[in-house]
Structure 1
Amino acid sequence: MGSRLPILDLNASPTPPPPPPPAPNPAVAPLRVPKIEPKAEPYDDSMDTATAPQPPQPPQDPSDIFLISQTTPPAATPADQTTVYSEFHRIQELFHTAFAKGIHNGGGGGGEEDGVVLDPETGAMVPVEDNGQNRQLAEAVHRKKYPQRSNELVRVTDLSVEDHRYFRDVVRKTRMLYDAIRIISIAEEEKKNPGQGKRTRGDLRAASVLRDRGLWLNRDKRIVGSIPGVYIGDLFFFRMELCVVGLHGQVQAGIDYLPGSQSSNREPIATSIIVSGGYEDDEDAGDMIIYTGHGGQDKLNKQCAHQKLEGGNLALERSMHYGIDVRVIRGRKIQSAVSQKVYVYDGLYRIIETWLDVGKSGFGVYKFKLLRIEGQPEMGSSVLKFAESLRTRPLSVRPRGYLSLDLSQQREKIPVLLFNDIDDDQDPLYYEYLRTAAFPTHVYHQSANGHGCECVSGCNDGCFCAMKNGGEYPYDQSGFLLRGKPVVFECGAFCRCPPGCKNRVSQNGLKKRLEVFRSRETGWGVRSLDLIHAGGFICEYTGVILTREQAHIFAMDGDSLIYPHRFADKWAEWGNLSQIYPDYVRPTFPAIPPLDFAMDVSKMRNVACYMSQSSTPNVMVQFILYDHNNLMFPHLMLFAMENIPPMRELSLDYGVAVADEWTGKLAICN
């Protein structure tokens, strides 16, 4: 198991603290600044105004803002300080003394008491001593319903392959639980108040439920650097989910840091920032960022006053002083059924320079130059941009490597790309594309006199199809699967509801732009050019359905077959609330008998057959019936178990019996 180590002084010979600042000149008016607020992200319109965190408001008292552009300066202000530039030079002088004052007095602005002189050999992060203050904090935490964040900074090191796999699975299951609670809570609210158009904050509800049950991750230690189990390129649709996994601990502030009042050496340290491009003085060039500090912004994110070296600003400066890296999360606006913004983890950056500058609005702002640490995987935000360009003009972006721009030959509503720039293998072109599974004719015989719902304008609560699913619909209004079940009944040919009914999801076919690609490590694989939401439908796993007798004959010839009953029951993990409710029992209705058929994909198949094998997959199999009622022969529909970024490989758990132990792929598709 890896170790979590307190970070010690990273400078072997730190420079001694500068002398105390000179006494202020009474002839010079003190610089007036508004109350410092955390640097908030640009307000997200998708948030409900009743529950969303509000952006910092400007001071109500006009005297709290020192207006540089005023024509008549204050009486106590010398004449040579009546212009923007002269005022800037005066602030710049205060900038240098602020460093000394911040170090001498314990960080300045972080809530520390004046007069505390630090040991010059003190490191940025040291083990926390068990003093009276910590005991009081522990008692306060005990009185809370949920544990507060730790004030001990650590870095996780020396993780083995098994450790990485373990932490990834913990993060994956926590995020899956978060998404399940969010989707279910929205569906329940819609059920209570149908058609009212109320925008329920399912993300806040999910975070609150997990927090109250102590399921937020990385609360016992405050981690500097990489978070175990969180990969570069991971996507998050909500700020609260960043808090749940411990990637960024602030709901609205863009700088997450340990305040000096909680630090053992009274110095604040920054751990992560969020860059959304919503501030006028920010510059983002990918590997290099010019990040503007916090403070002095109005509700429209415009600079209205000078910034001070305190709070998150001082924390970033201290992280630069000690050479401590920070995590960078980028926010990007998107068109999505879940939210209007996505947050992408882009890895670790190091702060190499900081200075005071005149911002575009004419006020003094602190700027921090960050460079991305080399040797990390490609930034997730860069992958998003690359996938976006592929969706509109693939040949101009990748002129070489495409074997086909539509492997399905127009059988799917959306083209399936085939890409190989590794070798000359063109194997997927030699098979006939099968859009949906081919069942034996006798499967439909018992459905000749089938029954369906009578919902003309759309399914309603209590209709025939809802009762078949146990009294509830399997999907929410956006088409996301609420919880996995042994089998799901969708509305079919005998139902009177329209094609746009909310209980017709998987039968409508492929909606994501998928690509079959060649890899040096895993052979053929599948990835999406679109972002796939957790609980969202991907495609059907197709082939020619064989009865047990037919499968036995095929197996005698040595052909490889797919056995649906061997797929791992990952559907039981989606919507599993056993960690929330101890008496939770996974759904057993509608029931389905043991499947006794096989699927031949040796000559006819679709894109799903090229998905990789994984014991921790991001795609699951959900059995579904819609065009017949024979429980012995359901469709194999694939749904996302987590938010899957563009260009990330899709994987299934086929079961040990059918997976090639050496390649981790199906032999039939490799």
Structure 2
Amino acid sequence: MDRTFGSDSMPSGPVNKHTVLTVKPLRCLVPVFPVQPDSNAPPTSNFASVPPTGPFPPGAAPFFPFYSSNGSQNKPGSGRGHPIPSPVPISSFKSPVSKNGDVGSSRRTTRAHTLADEDDYSQSDGFENSFDRDNVEIGSDGNVKKQTVRRKTRNSGENVPDVDLDPIVAQLLRDFNLLEIDTRRQADSDKEYVDHVLVVYNLLRRKIAQLDDTKPAKNGAIRRADLKAGTLLMYKGARANAKKRFGGVAGVEIGDIFFFRMEICLVGLHAPSMAGIDYMGIKASGEDEPLAVSIVSSGGYDDEGDDGEVLIYSGQGGVQRKDKQVMDQQLVRGNLALEKSLHRANEVRVIRGLKDVANPTGKVYVYDGLYRIHESWIDKAKSGVNVFKYKLVRVPGQPEAFTLWKSIQLWKDGVTVRPGLILPDLTSGAESQPVCLVNEVDNEKGPSYFTYIKYVKYTKPFPVISSSSNCGCSIGCQPSTNCPCVQRNGGYMPYTSLGVLMSHNMLIHECSSSCDCPHNCRNRISQAGLKVRLEVFKTSNKGWGLRSWDPIRAGGFICEYAGVVQENVMDFDDDYVFDATRSFAPIEPMPSEEPVKFPYPLIISAKNEGNVGRFMNHSCSPNVYWQPIVRENVNGSYLHIGFYAIKHIPPMQELTYSYGMVSADRGGSRRKTCLCGSSQCNGYFY
């Protein structure tokens, strides 16, 4: 028996999943990308016929950044030498509607509204996600003209000069070779280009969040640094894989992780920032036929995704959020694209949204590789309406991604034993989390003996850097206050509420034992110990290395380098040493032409006493960088070395940092062959 999807009446009762399905042709549906919309047509719930520049039907607001701050509508192609890139196909995005029905704009008088994706996830990660679109000024050429943020000290009422974001964006793009966009590389990118886009995005996002942190909250304002940073980069054309495609995406590897939907858009993995299904049209028998290119399964619908090789995916539409009306799903847009992909058997990229353990309101998006749709049917949702179901099966022969996450969880729960386990905790309980020792390569039972210590040891402290008093913040240091510890950090909090470092290449002043703030103060992140579950493992050719069972955010604290401070700089030589006198490439542009200088020639030996930091290997393309941290009390200054993630690091990826370069008179025969395997490898290190 034939059953037609998309008909006015949906079947009731039990459904035969093996029924032959008849699909309506495209000419029966609203075009996906209409050339000329009918402005007199009544508005639909999808606004599928609205182009980015309008005109907009009643009740629809334009998606920022398609709307100019002065009320004029930006024309496609009005950018400097290239059209304004669209982060979201207009056919798959429903813009927020203001309470009074007016079309939103980026003017300061416009009321802001919270955005949520189709899975009812607002992309919140606590403090970091802050987006206030009222402050953006768009020029007539479609580029961001100016972004200002006014800071005001809450207690004193002292006004601080406005901060112009445009020079910050330009400097970031220049430092990462993204200022002059290579359209060919933008359309078909590589790993280096993708990494640069993501690093710039996260540096900019955290800088915006740091600036927003100093502003008093406004009623109705949306603070979303993730959306704001993504929008700015989209305007500048700083995106990767702008050309939509089937199959894999250049520069994006299976198992890569993302903490923001805008990141997925910027690298070309999944274009819609909110919709769960991405698709593109192809010509078939003279008609435009939509085929799915990617889906995001993040738990908003009744998906069944615990099996690492099979995903039962629910269609979009119909079943909306709890506060919305529910109705039967229709075979249009993404649903139709999935149905067409079933018959065409094309590969579909799958991104799984998993719970972020470090943040209860956030998610981690894992690229799980390519799937094919094997079956589709109509099912009854819990609400009683009809929904489409699609069975996707993972293409064999791909690297582990979601299945690896499942295995790690079994190790954590004690259900299974970590293969190659030698010691369950080499710290002997010194750390808040165990650090296991693993060897799956040979029969070596562990590294040479050393005493495990958590912090750096001093024979005597350095002189006090500043004479300011310590804080009396009994509930913990807060931004935009007269707290002396905050003021020593330039008036900013160095960390977000999730413990993510906001900016680099500056000396971090953390609270010390002389401060009155509690141990969980936001300005004591490096003092709280390990934040992620680490393991020391035997590498194939570099001795012992370090990696994490948990995903690590860009800017996330990993550990500090513990050991014994050496007083004599020149008479020192061993394989377990951190030498701050070496030269290191900066992670982000300096705030001025004068680079930040390390206050003291700190050298730490971890040969006999140390922590997990001693096992971190060198790489010419590292994913970790070090940061000087100072804690001052009445007796003196104590310098520490903290390790932070340069970019998001997936589980079980080796943690590496650059050992830096030494002067010629100190190098000599200590040069070693580098085995990092990076495309940027120098061939040696010290």
Tell me the TM-score normalized by structure 2.
0.67
Please name the residue that 1:77 is paired with: none
Partner AA of 2:359 in structure 1:
A
Match of 2:212 among 189, 192, 216: 189
What is the aligned length? Answer: 530
Partner AA of 1:377 in structure 2:
P
Match of 2:232 among 175, 188, 209: 209
Please name the residue that 1:121 is paired with: none
- In structure 2, the CA distance between the partners of 1:332 and 1:547, relative to structure 1 (3 Å rule), is same
Shift of 1:205: 1.8
- In structure 2, the CA distance between the partners of 1:299 and 1:496, relative to structure 1 (3 Å rule), is closer
Please name the residue that 1:520 is paired with: 540
The 1-side partners of 2:347 and 2:205 are apart by 33
User: Within 5 Å, which residues of 2 pair with 1:166-315?
Assistant: 167-193=190-216, 200-219=223-242, 221-259=243-281, 266-280=288-302, 282=304, 285-300=307-322, 305-315=327-337
After the TM superposition, which of the residue ranges 477-486 and 343-352 deviates more from structure 2? 477-486
The 1-side partners of 2:648 and 2:431 are apart by 23
Partner AA of 1:294 in structure 2:
Q
Please name the residue that 2:439 is paired with: 420
- In structure 2, the CA distance between the partners of 1:338 and 1:621, relative to structure 1 (3 Å rule), is farther
The 2-side partners of 1:206 and 1:599 are apart by 38
The answer on whether the counterparts of 2:291 and 2:337 sit within 8 Å (CA) in structure 1 is yes
Partner AA of 1:495 in structure 2:
C
The answer on whether the counterparts of 1:280 and 1:302 sit within 8 Å (CA) in structure 2 is no
- In structure 2, the CA distance between the partners of 1:497 and 1:659, relative to structure 1 (3 Å rule), is farther
The 1-side partners of 2:428 and 2:268 are apart by 45
Report the structure number with the largest CA radius of gyration: 1
User: Within 5 Å, which residues of 2 pair with 1:58-77?
Assistant: none
- In structure 2, the CA distance between the partners of 1:282 and 1:500, relative to structure 1 (3 Å rule), is closer
The answer on whether the counterparts of 2:514 and 2:634 sit within 8 Å (CA) in structure 1 is no
Match of 2:416 among 390, 394, 397: 397
- In structure 2, the CA distance between the partners of 1:627 and 1:279, relative to structure 1 (3 Å rule), is same
What SS class does the counterpart of residue 142 from structure 1 fall into?
Answer: coil
Shift of 1:589: 7.4
Partner AA of 1:654 in structure 2:
Y
Partner AA of 1:326 in structure 2:
V
Is the aligned partner of 1:510 residue 2:530? yes
Instruction: Provide structure 1 residue ranges, at least 5 long, that are not aligned to the other structure.
Output: 1-20, 25-29, 34-65, 69-82, 114-138, 152-161, 577-583
Please name the residue that 2:351 is paired with: 329
The answer on whether the counterparts of 1:356 and 1:365 sit within 8 Å (CA) in structure 2 is yes
- In structure 2, the CA distance between the partners of 1:641 and 1:659, relative to structure 1 (3 Å rule), is farther
- In structure 2, the CA distance between the partners of 1:195 and 1:628, relative to structure 1 (3 Å rule), is farther
Shift of 1:197: 12
The 2-side partners of 1:263 and 1:623 are apart by 64
Please name the residue that 2:566 is paired with: 546
- In structure 2, the CA distance between the partners of 1:406 and 1:383, relative to structure 1 (3 Å rule), is same
The 1-side partners of 2:390 and 2:208 are apart by 41
Shift of 1:454: 4.0
Tell me the TM-score normalized by structure 1.
0.68
Shift of 1:319: 3.0
The 2-side partners of 1:207 and 1:248 are apart by 14
Shift of 1:400: 5.7
The answer on whether the counterparts of 1:562 and 1:599 sit within 8 Å (CA) in structure 2 is yes
The answer on whether the counterparts of 1:547 and 1:596 sit within 8 Å (CA) in structure 2 is no
Please name the residue that 2:425 is paired with: 406
Match of 1:568 among 584, 607, 615: 584
Match of 1:146 among 74, 81, 84: 84
The 1-side partners of 2:471 and 2:318 are apart by 60
The 1-side partners of 2:465 and 2:234 are apart by 51
Q: Deviations 1:35-58 (Å, cap 9, x if unpaired)? A: xxxxxxxxxxxxxxxxxxxxxxxx
The 2-side partners of 1:199 and 1:449 are apart by 37
- In structure 2, the CA distance between the partners of 1:262 and 1:216, relative to structure 1 (3 Å rule), is farther
What SS class does the counterpart of residue 302 from structure 2 fall into?
Answer: coil
Match of 1:369 among 391, 403, 407: 391
Shift of 1:318: 3.2
Shift of 1:112: 8.3
Partner AA of 1:212 in structure 2:
Y
Percent sequence identity over matched residues?
Answer: 35
What SS class does the counterpart of residue 197 from structure 2 fall into?
Answer: helix
The 1-side partners of 2:349 and 2:218 are apart by 41
The answer on whether the counterparts of 1:293 and 1:365 sit within 8 Å (CA) in structure 2 is yes
Shift of 1:602: 2.4
Is the aligned partner of 1:342 residue 2:364? yes
What SS class does the counterpart of residue 316 from structure 2 fall into?
Answer: coil
Is the aligned partner of 1:640 residue 2:648? no
Partner AA of 1:386 in structure 2:
S
The answer on whether the counterparts of 2:628 and 2:641 sit within 8 Å (CA) in structure 1 is yes
Shift of 1:651: 1.2
Shift of 1:256: 0.1
Shift of 1:397: 1.5
- In structure 2, the CA distance between the partners of 1:148 and 1:453, relative to structure 1 (3 Å rule), is same
The 2-side partners of 1:363 and 1:192 are apart by 45
Shift of 1:248: 0.8
Shift of 1:345: 0.7
Please name the residue that 2:470 is paired with: 453
Is the aligned partner of 1:388 residue 2:404? no
Return the structure number with greater relative CO, CA threshold 8 A, min gap 6: 1
Q: Deviations 1:563-589 (Å, cap 9, x if unpaired)? A: 22336334x32xx5xxxxxxx845857
Superposition CA RMSD, Å: 4.3
After the TM superposition, which of the residue ranges 190-199 and 451-460 deviates more from structure 2? 190-199
Q: Deviations 1:344-369 (Å, cap 9, x if unpaired)? A: 11001122344556667666544433
Q: Deviations 1:253-290 (Å, cap 9, x if unpaired)? A: 21100146999961212110112344336565221223
Please name the residue that 1:650 is paired with: 655
Shift of 1:480: 1.8
User: Within 5 Å, which residues of 2 pair with 1:657-668?
Assistant: 660-664=672-676
